[in-house]
Chain A
Amino acid sequence: MKNDHTKDASGEPEPQRPGFDAGMSRIDVPRLGSDGAPTGLPGALDQVVVDRLFQMGISTPQRPIDHLVQRLSGPGSSAWLGDALRMPQVGCKGDPESGLARGRLNIREIDDMKERCKTAALTDGDTHVRLATTAGYYIAIAAAAVHHHRLISSQPRGELSSMLLDLGSVAPEPWATLLGRAALELGAA
Chain B
Amino acid sequence: MQSPSAKPKSRPNDVFPATQLAWIDAQLDMGQQGRSEINRHIMSVYRFPLHVYFLGTRDRWIGEPEEVINGFFADRLARPNFLADWRVSGLRLRHWLINAFCFYLRELRRLRHRGKADSPKADEPVEFAGDTKAIDRAYVSSLVREALIDAERMCTGQGFSAHWQVFYTHFCLGKPYEQFVDELGIDAGRAVVMARTAKKKFQIALRTLVARDSTGDDDINAEIRGLMEGS
Q: A residues engaging B (CB < 8 A)?
A: 1-2, 6-9, 14, 17-22, 24, 27-32, 34, 36, 38, 43, 45, 47, 49-59, 146, 165-166, 168-169, 171, 173, 176-184, 188
Contacts and interface: CB of A to CB of B under 8 A. Distances in A.
Interface residues of B, number: 59
A57 B207 contact: yes
Interface stretch (B6-14, B23-31, B135-143): B135-143
A20 B130 contact: yes
- Name the residue among B61, B112, B207 with the largest chain A CB count within 10 angstroms: B61
Interface string B75-94: 00000000000000000000
A49 B172 contact: yes
Contacts, number: 160
Q: Sort A-B residue pairs by CB-CB distance and give the 8 closest, nearest first.
A: A20-B55, A181-B189, A168-B193, A180-B189, A9-B112, A14-B61, A169-B196, A180-B193
Given A24-B134, A177-B187, A54 B129 contact: no
A181 B137 contact: no
Interface in B25-57: 48, 52-56
Contact of B220 (A24, A59, A180, A181): A59
A43 B169 CA distance: 11
Contacts of A24: 52, 134, 137-138, 141
A66 B172 CA distance: 27
A19 B61 contact: no
B187 A53 contact: no
B184 to A, nearest CB: 14
